């Protein structure tokens, strides 16, 4: 009998163990497990296709302006500031703007020399940096659809690069220090959108221990909770448990988005880092001032920014074109640098 009693107790314990469950959490996720974003020491030469692979993923650099409002606006604004000074030369105003946008966004741009039937250079054309690669002879390879490529010899290309101390095959975008901040701003925005889409009010655990809870009521509660997803579906719940115990039904909040997630602070800090990475004045970039004094005179900021940032960018492009022996006269790019 004693053995039978012990066996029954063990069976009950086994049943209880089956009813209980343990929630486990994964280890913290590494932000850059392979340091693939900005950490590089040398470049890889693609023997099969005959060009050097870029040091930083160009697909990421191409999509980043659409993923972060501050970064996208500043990149376009920097290109516009430089292109607005254009006066005349071997490209149209639209092509000059495209050249500066490629240079700012990717760190380099290849200018193709267009020739007439006598092999004379008659104009310049900016190749899209997203698909342009450096060939082994210093020329350009443009990636096209269906694994096709268009090759240009070195004599037909004028490369303009933002200097990279690690390698000199490609240029280096000067805002890479703010790359993680731009992605953080995107992550915070997406998290908030998912929070509301999935039902912001359902951030809790309903914990029931009262044996008097009617099974039909319990099933009804489960259905209401499961069907409460979506914006605008917040509904209050009324539960009546006759002769119920105190705290037999409890609501345990999982988290409060407004007070604990610090969405506003994350967005503010990440946008400030993006501005710092571009060295862009907040008064010119649309940042809302947090102090009563504001950001001062925007015209003064614009003058200082032009002298320290925009003018060197323009000189970089104009000098590269002027140093080419085949480009002269009216084809040289002229800017208003006053």
How many domains does the structure of the chain reveal?
A: 1
On whether residue 44 sits in a domain, the answer given is no
On whether residue 64 sits in a domain, the answer given is no
Residue 208, SS3 per DSSP: strand
On whether residue 217 sits in a domain, the answer given is yes
| 8 pLDDT above the threshold of 90 | no
On whether residue 240 sits in a domain, the answer given is yes
* Residues 6 or more apart whose Cβ sits within 8 Å of residue 49: 133, 141, 149
pLDDT tens for residues 275-287? 999 999 887 776 6
Q: Which of 31-35, 43-47, 90-94 has the highest mean pLDDT?
A: 90-94
pLDDT tens for residues 289-328? 566 656 667 788 889 999 999 999 999 999 999 999 999 8
What b-and-e string marks burial along 147-182, b requiring 16 or more CB atoms within 10 Å of the CB? eeeeebeeebbbbbbbebeeeebbbbbbbbebbbbb
Read off the pTM. Answer: 0.76
| 14 pLDDT above the threshold of 80 | no
pLDDT tens for residues 160-219? 999 999 999 999 999 999 988 998 888 888 888 877 776 655 556 777 777 777 788 778
On whether residue 244 sits in a domain, the answer given is yes
On whether residue 241 sits in a domain, the answer given is yes
pLDDT band at 258 (very low <50, low <70, confident <90, very high): low
On whether residue 87 sits in a domain, the answer given is no
Domain carrying residue 235: 204-254
On whether residue 220 sits in a domain, the answer given is yes
């Amino acid at each position: 009998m004693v053995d039978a009693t012990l066996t029954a107790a063990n069976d009950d314990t086994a049943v209880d163990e089956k009813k209980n469950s343990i929630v486990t959490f994964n280890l913290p996720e590494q932000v850059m497990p392979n340091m693939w974003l900005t950490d590089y020491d040398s470049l890889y030469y693609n023997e099969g296709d005959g060009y050097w692979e870029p040091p930083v993923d160009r697909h990421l650099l191409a999509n980043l302006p659409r993923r972060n409002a501050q970064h996208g606006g500043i990149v376009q604004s920097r290109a516009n500031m430089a292109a607005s000074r254009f006066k005349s030369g071997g490209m149209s105003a639209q092509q000059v703007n495209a050249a500066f946008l490629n240079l700012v966004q990717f760190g380099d741009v290849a200018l193709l020399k267009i020739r007439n039937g006598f092999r004379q250079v008659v104009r310049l054309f900016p190749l899209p940096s997203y698909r342009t690669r450096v060939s082994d002879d210093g020329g350009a390879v443009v990636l096209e659809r269906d694994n096709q490529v268009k090759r240009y010899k070195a004599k037909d290309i004028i490369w303009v690069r933002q200097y990279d101390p690690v390698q000199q095959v490609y240029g280096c975008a000067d805002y890479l220090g703010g790359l993680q901040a731009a992605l953080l701003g995107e992550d915070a925005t997406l998290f908030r959108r998912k929070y509301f889409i999935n039902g912001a009010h359902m951030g809790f655990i309903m914990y029931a221990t009262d044996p008097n809870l009617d099974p039909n009521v319990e099933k009804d509660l489960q259905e209401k909770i499961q069907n409460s997803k979506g914006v605008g579906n917040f509904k209050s719940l009324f539960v009546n448990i006759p002769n119920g115990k105190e705290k037999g039904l409890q609501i345990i909040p999982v988290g409060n988005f407004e007070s604990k997630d610090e969405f506003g602070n994350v967005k503010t800090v990440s946008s400030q880092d993006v501005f710092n990475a571009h060295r862009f004045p907040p008064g010119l970039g649309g940042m809302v001032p947090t102090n009563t004094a504001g950001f001062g005179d925007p015209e003064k900021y614009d003058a200082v920014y032009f002298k320290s940032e925009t003018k060197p960018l323009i000189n970089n492009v104009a000098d590269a074109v002027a140093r080419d022996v085949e480009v002269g006269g009216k084809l040289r790019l002229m800017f208003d640098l006053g």
